[in-house]
Amino acid sequence: MFWQKDLELMPPDQLRGLQAQRLRRTVEMAKKSPFYAKALAGMDPDGITTPDDARHLPLTVKQDLRDYFPFGFLAVPRSQVVRLHASSGTTGTPTAIFHGKADLKAWADLVARGLYMVGVRPSDVFQNLAGYGLFSGGLGMHYGAERLGALVIPAGAGNSRRQISLMRQMGTTVMHMIPSYAHRLAAAFAEQGLDPRADTSLKIAIIGAEPHTEQARRRIEEMFGVKAYNNYGLSELNGPGVAFECAEQNGLHLWEDAFLVEVLDPTTLEPVAPGQVGEVVLTTLNRRAMPLIRYRTRDLAALLPGDCPCGRPHRRLSRIVGRSDDMFIVKGVNVYPMQVEAVLMGHKPVGGNYLIVLESRESGDAMIVRAELRPEAAGLSPEERSGLARSLAKDLRDELLLTPAVEICDPGALPVAQGKAERVQDRRKLS
Ligand SMILES: [Zn+2]
């Protein structure tokens, strides 16, 4: 049931002791990098006696990684670095993340821990449908599944026909993908007249790297006849495996022996109460080549109160409810794409692909929600479509407190992203 039993079941007091010790070592190591030599000048690591002392350390933001690109966060000689990843941001200078051999091993263990926890075993066939390359989702999950001992198929992203053939020929039992791709893959099964529930051996889906709703997860489980488990990570903090759901599906255990977690109010930067949503701030506790201290992830989530029936004391993170960067403002109202997705997924005929368009009009800002139908609902009559649009507009108004225009599109009508799905097009800046 456990991959690293001692660490997974470590009692909270002992875990905090380990965190303090690892935080001291991390600060000591970090000071060898050009960035932290400056940011942590005068900071004596020996003054750290509990993990709470992290609060006196400075925060690190993505812009710091850009300003010190590419080597300014390296705490070891370059000869000890064996792997580069980069963040998947689409704007501005990329950020470089380096790993040494020990870092890669520790990362693979964290991923293997999560996979083992949800029932993946060496006898499984693990098809990895995430993008390989600089994006850490592909290689990160690959090394974890390989470390566990599963047969790993490095299929990579896209090419649904080949994915389906591989799944059927190799008897794939576990797949890993970004949630928006799951809908495209399901559509490809349907085009071939196949039903993944009957025509594959799939039993588990690992999903992550894109914020998604509980409704979207249930959709994936239903379409493929699998249990779908959420995992959380970002390139700056390795990638997949920072936090992973257990079989209870009640939040993601954040591996506290490897990361120190804080949830802060993004404006005041004060800790929020347990159960409250705030920005996730993480410190690496076990990374040597490139330690990061109090990194502001921009991801919004809550630390969930209470113990997990699985017995692991590592605290649970809620699913990511949005990114502080993704929030947009229409007519003075703060909106997160996840709120829109939750409403859309609550309507059975609506498929997985949708787009929010923001435009300037004479009457002020307008928000248009384009929702694709599922392939099975393509035959809806014009009357049924406008009824659906009205009902979506009403539910969106109840959720968002503003009324968007809703357009129902045919299956496959909206653009398909190659990587992570683009959910919002803000055309207001152009006019
Ligand atoms: Zn649990």
Cβ neighbours of residue 388 closer than 8 Å, sequence gap 6 or more? 347, 349, 350, 380, 408
The CA 12 to ligand 1 mean position distance, Å, reads 14
Mean pLDDT, residues 125-142 taken together: 95
The CA 250 to ligand 1 mean position distance, Å, reads 7
pLDDT the model gives residue 233 = 95
The CA 232 to ligand 1 mean position distance, Å, reads 15
User: Of 233, 253, 234, whose CA–CA distance to 245 is shortest?
Assistant: 253
Measured between alpha carbons, how far is 207 from 181 in angstroms, rounded to an integer? 10
The CA 312 to ligand 1 mean position distance, Å, reads 6
Residue 212 corresponds to which tokens in the numbers above? 């998604």
Same fold, 1-321 and 328-426: no
Contact between 313 and 335 (Cβ < 8 Å): no
The CA 407 to ligand 1 mean position distance, Å, reads 40
User: Of 347, 354, 423, 338, whose CA–CA distance to 388 is shortest?
Assistant: 347
pLDDT band at 91 (very low <50, low <70, confident <90, very high): low
H or E element in which residue 98 lies: strand 96-100
The CA 315 to ligand 1 mean position distance, Å, reads 9
pLDDT band at 431 (very low <50, low <70, confident <90, very high): very low
Which has more pLDDT, 208 or 93? 208
The CA 101 to ligand 1 mean position distance, Å, reads 29
The CA 3 to ligand 1 mean position distance, Å, reads 14
pLDDT the model gives residue 142 = 98
* pLDDT above 60 (res 327): yes
The CA 309 to ligand 1 mean position distance, Å, reads 6
The CA 251 to ligand 1 mean position distance, Å, reads 8
Question: What percentage of the chain has pLDDT greater than the value 70?
Answer: 97
The CA 118 to ligand 1 mean position distance, Å, reads 10
The CA 138 to ligand 1 mean position distance, Å, reads 25
Residue 98 corresponds to which tokens in the numbers above? 């380096």
Cβ neighbours of residue 19 closer than 8 Å, sequence gap 6 or more? 51, 256, 257, 260, 285
Mean pLDDT, residues 387-406 taken together: 93
* pLDDT above 50 (res 84): yes
Architecture of domain 1-321: 3-Layer(aba) Sandwich (3.40)
The CA 302 to ligand 1 mean position distance, Å, reads 16
Return the CATH class of domain 328-426.
Answer: alpha beta
pLDDT the model gives residue 88 = 56
* pLDDT above 70 (res 364): yes
Question: What percentage of the chain has pLDDT greater than the value 90?
Answer: 79
Reported as a single tens digit per residue, the pLDDT across 7-39 is 999 999 999 999 999 999 999 999 999 999 999
Reported as a single tens digit per residue, the pLDDT across 260-275 is 999 998 888 999 998 9
Reported as a single tens digit per residue, the pLDDT across 260-314 is 999 998 888 999 998 998 999 999 999 999 999 999 999 999 999 999 999 999 9
pLDDT the model gives residue 407 = 96
Measured between alpha carbons, how far is 87 from 64 in angstroms, rounded to an integer? 13
The CA 369 to ligand 1 mean position distance, Å, reads 36
The CA 280 to ligand 1 mean position distance, Å, reads 20
The CA 242 to ligand 1 mean position distance, Å, reads 14
The CA 110 to ligand 1 mean position distance, Å, reads 15
Domain parsing of the chain, residue ranges = 1-321, 328-426
The CA 73 to ligand 1 mean position distance, Å, reads 34
The CA 11 to ligand 1 mean position distance, Å, reads 14
The CA 235 to ligand 1 mean position distance, Å, reads 24
Measured between alpha carbons, how far is 146 from 78 in angstroms, rounded to an integer? 27
The CA 247 to ligand 1 mean position distance, Å, reads 7
